[in-house]
Structure 1
Amino acid sequence: MRAIDFKEFGPASVLGLAELPDPVARPHDLLVRVRAAGVNRADVLHREGHYGRSDFGDSTLMGLEIAGDVVAMGSEVRQWQLGDRVMGIVGGGAYAELARIDYRMAMPIPGGLDYAHAAAIPEVFVTAHEALVHLGRLVAGESVLIHAAASGVGSAAVQLAKACGARVFATAKGAKLQRVRELGADVGIDYTTTDFAQAIQEATAGHGVDLIIDFIGAMYFDKNLASLDFGGRLVQVGLLGGGAPPVLDLQRLLYRHLHIFGTVMKSRSQAEKQAMTKRFRDTWLDHFSNRELGPVIDSVFPLARASEAHQRMESNESVGKIILAM
């Protein structure tokens, strides 16, 4: 099969097309003819050497989400048939013509969606649901601040938060705010020109929001805590701004009864990942068929141009998902 590989860690230019052995389905695996794969920030970190040459469960190759057709199955697979259109999160190996996925991680592609749009769903929407609903406990009538709202997970979180009945505040570059509002944000905040904590205080009459979903990290930490209402929840999903330890104001934490959660899918056990996938599938999958929810695609690149897809991600100019098409 053709797949993207690299001989040494480094910039996007190290990525190249290679002919590699086909993966073999294990007892609980579906073997999938990959039609499209999502590009994620974790792929850039993989390429740069942050994870070493680890095997993430399915492959040492790059890539965490796929959409395609089932071409073979392991002996313990249930529910699926050859030829089924599936999408899902894999433990590596998505940047290839064939990939294997534990059948309990696979989801049916919603009716009417092509492979590119299907590949834009699993990683970001499962992550967004986990942060907003499972950990963040967001319910109708509450308010939520979503940082990096034009990113893949951010754009998914805006849609899910709106579908939950929340009032949605979102930060993004000014040029991306209109698109973020179209996805459902009630208030868009240009983080390059506006102090988001001050904007939140003004918009909520000094109360703050009930929930914050943050991908940035230390540089936002103090302002995030200052933006939470009594009993507010902060869910830390990423550290795009760097992982330097912030200073925690314990008095604010105690006297305002705040809650802080951290979540990273990559470090979860397989059983936990399966549970996350099931929670999302059971709650939201039907909403894609009737177009109440929709994956946001920034751009689509052929597999051979994976290096250009990575350069697009590193430019920080994208809105939504970057996809590789096979």
Structure 2
Amino acid sequence: MKAITFAEFGDADVLELTDVPDPEVRPHDLLVRNRAAGLNRADLTHRRGGYGRANFGDSDLMGLEIAGEVIAMGSETQGFAIGDRVMGIVGGGGYAELARIDYRMAMHIPDGLDDVHAGALPEVFVTAWEALGHLGRLTSGESVLIHAAAGGVGSAAVQLAHALGARVLATADGSKREAILGFGADVAIDYKTEDFEAVVDSVTEGRGVDVIVDFVGAPYLARNIRSLNSGGRLVQVGILGGIEGAELPLDRLLYRHLQIMGTVMKSRPPAVKHAMTRRFADTWLPRFASHSLAPVIDSTFPLKNAADAHRRMESNQNIGKIMLTMA
């Protein structure tokens, strides 16, 4: 099969389309003919050598989410059949014509959802709901601040929080303000020209928000803590801004009874990943069948042009998901 590989770590130019062996089907696997695969920032880290030659359980190829058609099945799989259209999160291997996926990580693609949108759904929406619902315990009528709201997980989190009935504040580049509001945000904050802490303080009349979902890390930590309401929950999903120099206002943490939680998917044990997938699917998958929720697609690239897709992500110009497609 054709797949994207790289002989050495480096910039996007190291990516190339090569021939590699087809995946071997394990007892719990579905073998999927990929139609689309989503890009994630973890792929950039992988390409640059941040994980070494890592195998996250399924393959040492890049790619963490896929959509396509089941063409073979292991002896221990349940609930799926040859020819089913499926989507899901894989432990590597998405940047290829074929991929194996643990059937417990797979979801049936809702009728009417095309392959590109299906491939854009699993990683971002499962992660977003884990942060908002399972860890953040966000409920209708509460308020939430979502950082990096124009990205894949951020745009998914805005949609889910809005659908849940929460008041949504969201940060993004000012040029993406209208898009953020279109996803369902009530307040869009330009992180380049506005201090989100001051905006939160003004909008909430000093109370703060109930939940914050953050991808930035150290530069935002102190302001995030000061932006939380009593009993508030900060869910840390990424550290795009690094980990050095973080300041934690311990008095605020203590006297407002705040909670700080972290979440990451790719390095979690399989049973945890299975539970995360099921929590999302049981709660939200019917909403995609009715098209009341939909992944946000920024752009698509043929598999052979994966390097261009990586450059698009590195430019930080994208709104929503960048996708690879297979013939």
* TM-score bracket for this pair, using the shorter chain length: over 0.9
The secondary structure found in structure 2 opposite 1:81 is coil
Match of 2:8?
Answer: 8
Distance 1:79 1:233 in 2: 36
Residue 275 of structure 1 aligns to which amino acid in structure 2?
A
Residue 185 of structure 2 aligns to which amino acid in structure 1?
A
Residue 8 of structure 1 aligns to which amino acid in structure 2?
E
Shift of 1:245: 5.0
**Percent identity of equivalent pairs:** 67
Match of 2:154?
Answer: 154
Runs of 4+ in 1 over 2 A off after TM superposition: none
Number of residue-to-residue matches in the alignment: 326
The secondary structure found in structure 1 opposite 2:272 is helix
Residue 236 of structure 1 aligns to which amino acid in structure 2?
Q
Distance 1:235 1:186 in 2: 20
1:89 equivalent to 2:92? Answer no
Shift of 1:45: 0.3
Match of 1:174?
Answer: 174
Asked if 1 retains the 8 angstrom alpha-carbon contact of 2:225 and 2:248, the reply is no
Shift of 1:181: 0.3
Shift of 1:239: 0.4
Q: Which runs of 5+ in 1 are unaligned?
A: none
The secondary structure found in structure 1 opposite 2:35 is strand
Asked if 1 retains the 8 angstrom alpha-carbon contact of 2:56 and 2:267, the reply is no
- Spell out, residue by residue over 1:307-326, the C-alpha distance to the aligned partner (whole angstroms, 9 max, x if none): 00000000001000000000
Distance 2:20 2:308 in 1: 21
- Spell out, residue by residue over 1:26-68, the C-alpha distance to the aligned partner (whole angstroms, 9 max, x if none): 0000000000000000000000001000211000100000000
Match of 1:262?
Answer: 262
Match of 1:306?
Answer: 306
Residue 325 of structure 2 aligns to which amino acid in structure 1?
A
- TM-score normalised according to structure 1 size: 0.99
Distance 2:119 2:198 in 1: 37
Match of 2:35?
Answer: 35
Match of 1:189?
Answer: 189
Shift of 1:247: 2.1
Across the aligned residues of Structure 1 and Structure 2, the Cα RMSD in angstroms comes to 0.6
Q: Which runs of 5+ in 2 are unaligned?
A: none
Match of 1:247?
Answer: 247
The secondary structure found in structure 2 opposite 1:179 is helix
Residue 125 of structure 2 aligns to which amino acid in structure 1?
F
Match of 1:105?
Answer: 105
- Spell out, residue by residue over 1:77-135, the C-alpha distance to the aligned partner (whole angstroms, 9 max, x if none): 11110000000000000000000000010000111011000000000000000000000
Distance 1:79 1:203 in 2: 47
- TM-score normalised according to structure 2 size: 0.99
Equivalence map 1:105-254=2 (5 Å):
105-254=105-254
Distance 1:230 1:77 in 2: 46
Residue 48 of structure 1 aligns to which amino acid in structure 2?
R
Deviates more, 1:245-254 or 1:203-212: 245-254
